[in-house]
Structure 1
C-alpha cells in the first residue's frame, strides 16, 4: 500500500476480522450470474431482475422467493444443486465454448418455433414455471450450461459482428468469456498478515459454494467459517446474524471486529452487527455502497494494512 497516492489515512484497533467471501475475497460473479440466468430462464423470469435481486443474499432465501411451490424440506437440496451449477460454470474452460455455442444454437433452433423466434441471435424463449417442470421440456445440465453460456456471450458477439464481419470475429468474442473463480487484489496479503485464530468467513453462500471458491483460489478454509446452511442461523444478510455468529465462534465481541464486505446487503449486515465495516468496491461502484453506513470505502484491500500489537490486538491503517 502506497500512502502517497491517497489523501488521508485512519488508524484503529480490533480483535479480529470477519470476511464476506464472494465479491470480497473471491470473484465468481460471472459464474454466479450465469447460474441465476439459467434459473431465471427456467422459471420464465427476467435474468437481469433476478440477478439484481439476489446479489449478496442466501440462495435459500432467493430460491424460496423465486421458485413457485418450493417446500422448506426441499430447500437444502435445491441450494446444493444450484451452487453446484455455479461451480460447474466456473470450471467451464473458455476455449471449450466454441463447440458449446454451436451445440446450443442447434438445440435452441429445434426447441423454438419459427413463429416465436425473434431472430437468429435470440436466446431460448423463457417458459412458464409449470412448463419448466414438465419432463418433456426439462433440459440436461449440459444443455443449461450451453444455452446460458450462449446467452451471456450474445451481446458481445453482436457487437463484434457489427464491427468486423470476418468469419473469425465471433470465435474471438466467445473466447473472451471466462467464468473462473479468482482471488481479488490485496486479499492474499491481507490473509497472510493475520494469525489463523484472528479471522473468519461469514458468507451468504452455502458450504458447497464457499469451500469450492476458496479451494479454487488456494485460500485456506479458516477454522471459523459460517455458511448460509449453518443450522444455527435463523436469518441471513442483510440481518447481522452471520457476522454475530462468526464473531462468537471466533471468541470476540462483534464491536471489536472488522467486517470486509462488498454488497449492499452485506454492508448493512455488518453495520447492524456493530462492527467496523470496510466496504470494497469490487462488485459495486462506489456510489452504490458509500451511503450504507460503512466506516470506510476502499477500492481494494490493497488500501488496508494490518500490524500486530504486543497485547494481541490488530492495528488497521486504512488509506483513502
Structure 2
C-alpha cells in the first residue's frame, strides 16, 4: 500500500497527543495523591514518625512498631482535631483543605480518634510504663485548638516545637535512655528546627492571620525578614550540632543532622505567601521525612 509523509506525520502527532494525555493523567493522579496525603494529615503523621525513627537509629536502638504507632496515632489525632477547630480560618487561608475537611473530615477524624484510642488501650492492656503520658496529645489538642494559644506571638511556634521535641523524649523514656546526651541533644535539635519551620509556615497565612487578629512573626517582621531570621536560626542550630559533636558529647553520626539543615536552607528562600499547600504541607513538613530517609539509608549502607 502506498504511504505518504502526511499519514506518518498524522500518526506521530496522534501518538504524541495520546502520550501527552496519558502523562497528564498520571501527573494529575500523583498531584491528587499528594494533596490527599497532606490534607488527611497522613503525611505530617509520617513526618513525626520519622522523628522517632531518626531518634531510634541515632541512639542505636532497634526499630519497634509500638512506639512508632504511638507517634503516628497521636499526630493523626491532634492534627485532625485541629482541622475542624480551624475550619473557618482554613476557608480563607487554605480553601482546598477546608473543602477536603468538609467532604472527608469526619471519616478522617473517626480514623484519627480510633487509632489513638486503640493505641492507648493497647498500652494499658500491655502494662506499658508511662501509659498515662499518652494522654498528653489530648491536652495538646485542647491547648492548641480550643484554648487558642496560637493567637499569642511566638507562643504557637514554641508550643509546636516543644510538642515535637517530646518525641525523642518519649523514645528515650521507652528505651530507658531518657537523660542520655544523645536524647537531650535531639530534643534541643528537633525543638529548635520545628520552631523555625513553624515560623516559616506562618508566611503562607499572613493575610488570613492578619484578618483573624492572630499575631505571627511574618506579620510583625514581614516575609522577607522572617526568611532571613529563619535562615540565621538554621545556621546557628547547625553550629550547635557541630559544637556538641566536636566536643565529643555525641558521636560523629550526629553530623547527619546537617542534611536537614541543608534541606531547610534550600526551601527557606522560596517561602512566599503565594506558594500553595503542597510547598508548605509537603516540602516544609517533609523535612523530617527527608532526614529519616537519609538516616535509614546510612544505617543500611554505611554505619
- The bucket for the TM-score relative to the shorter chain is under 0.3
Q: Which has the higher strand share?
A: 1
TM-score, length of structure 2 as denominator length: 0.25
Q: Which has the higher helix share?
A: 2
